[in-house]
Amino acid sequence: MDVRIDEVDRKILSQLQRDASQSLDDIAREVGSSKTPVWNRIRKLREAGVIGQHTVVLDADALGFEACFFVLIRTSEHEAEWQAAFLKALQDRAEVQEAHRLAGDIDYILKVRVKNARAYDAFYQALISEVRVHNVTALLSMEQIKSTTMLPL
Amino acid sequence: MDVRIDEVDRKILSQLQRDASQSLDDIAREVGSSKTPVWNRIRKLREAGVIGQHTVVLDADALGFEACFFVLIRTSEHEAEWQAAFLKALQDRAEVQEAHRLAGDIDYILKVRVKNARAYDAFYQALISEVRVHNVTALLSMEQIKSTTMLPL
DNA sequence: TCTGAAACGAATCGCAA
DNA sequence: TTGCGATTCGTTTCAGA
């Protein structure tokens, strides 16, 4: 299911990223079109999966999630079975906000958000008891300098 | 401006994270309350900054952002002036989706999303010409295994 | 494909409990 | 504070150009 995305689509997506609670009229005005065409484009982009979840950004600190770790993982296991188990372990743990398989020396990087260092340790112990990993380095964030999910369209 | 967040607030936030386009009636039903109280709580949480931006998640690959790098940065500079310049450079660059100041050996980590490796190189060259950094390691993501902005409330 | 309008549903606010 | 109702505002659908 592919879509050709033109200039108007890009403008619409850009507006939605910026503020998804805007009315169709507002978006239409911004992109120089009108309600119905904008509505049809959004529907198509949603069906094509270009537009995904509709969400709000919450203040992690205010909700008690005060610790953020980046976890660098090296493993000696590279079989499909191990990978599947590792993947499932990550999917199942809500503290894992991001996980990437890497090229090169380090095999995986995780971003883990937890309430405090103790909660990180609990996560770490649980993870290494579930899957074998060769080497783990945790980088502790002292300060989040920038955070955005916006793509520069 | 601080807020005490109770169980009902937490449920509301959880629903909003999951799907911010739900109607108030739907949220009210989910959390076992009704329209007016839910509306008042959301308004307060927004004013207190607990609820931030309202946005949509876009498919980065479909929009041509096919490369993602994690960048580990060591610097020998730790003065306020250098920090301010570095921070500004990061804020100004749309390809930087996340930036953290770290504890320990490595000073900063960035998450950088770009169209391709060439675009990463352009970013890298621009960055090091603007601010002095001692050592830079780029980790290339081969596959995004998990990605969520949801906090486990 | 776009425009305009009509019909429907939801958000917002006042008022009573 | 909540619950209800009225009004306003937004979304969705459809006819016609």
Are B33 and B67 members of one domain?
no
Q: Do A146 and B102 touch (CB under 8 A)?
A: no
Kind of pairing, strands B135-147 and A67-74?
A: unpaired
Q: What is the pLDDT of residue A77?
A: 83
Q: What percent of chain B has pLDDT over 90?
A: 95
Whether residue B1 is contained in a domain is answered as no
Are A43 and A65 members of one domain?
no
Whether residue B2 is contained in a domain is answered as no
Q: Which residue gives the smallest C-alpha to C1' distance to D9? A: A23
pLDDT digit string, tens, across residues B57-69: 999 999 999 999 9
Whether residue B3 is contained in a domain is answered as no
Residue B1 has pLDDT above 80, yes or no: no
Look up the CATH number of the domain holding residue B34.
Answer: 1.10.10.10
Residue with tokens 């188990």: A85
Domain count, chain B: 2
Q: What is the pLDDT of residue B82?
A: 95
Are B12 and B69 members of one domain?
no
Whether residue A146 is contained in a domain is answered as no
Q: What is the pLDDT of residue A2?
A: 65
Whether residue B152 is contained in a domain is answered as no
Contact B151, A63 (CB under 8 A): yes
How far does the CA of B25 sit from the C1' of C17, in Å? Answer: 22
Whether residue B147 is contained in a domain is answered as no
pLDDT digit string, tens, across residues A11-22: 999 999 999 999
The whole-model pTM stands at 0.94
Closest partner CB to A20 (pick from B17, B54, B102) = B54
The answer to whether A23 CB is within 7 Å of strand D is yes
Residue type, A124: Y
Are A67 and A137 members of one domain?
yes
Look up the CATH number of the domain holding residue B87.
Answer: 3.30.70.920
Distance CA B48, CA A4 (A): 41
Q: Which domain holds residue A22?
A: 8-48
Instruction: Concatenate the DSSP letters of all residues of A99-131 into one string.
Output: EEEESSS--EEEEEEESSHHHHHHHHHHHHHHS
Helix intervals (H) in B19-116: 24-31, 35-47, 80-92
| B56: chain A residues, CB-CB within 8 Å | 13, 16-17, 20, 51-55
Q: Do A96 and B146 touch (CB under 8 A)?
A: yes
The answer to whether B116 CB is within 7 Å of strand D is no
Residue type, B101: R
Rounded average pLDDT over A97-114 = 97
Q: Which residue gives the smallest C-alpha to C1' distance to D14? A: A36
Are A135 and A77 members of one domain?
yes
Closest partner CB to A151 (pick from B16, B58, B109) = B58
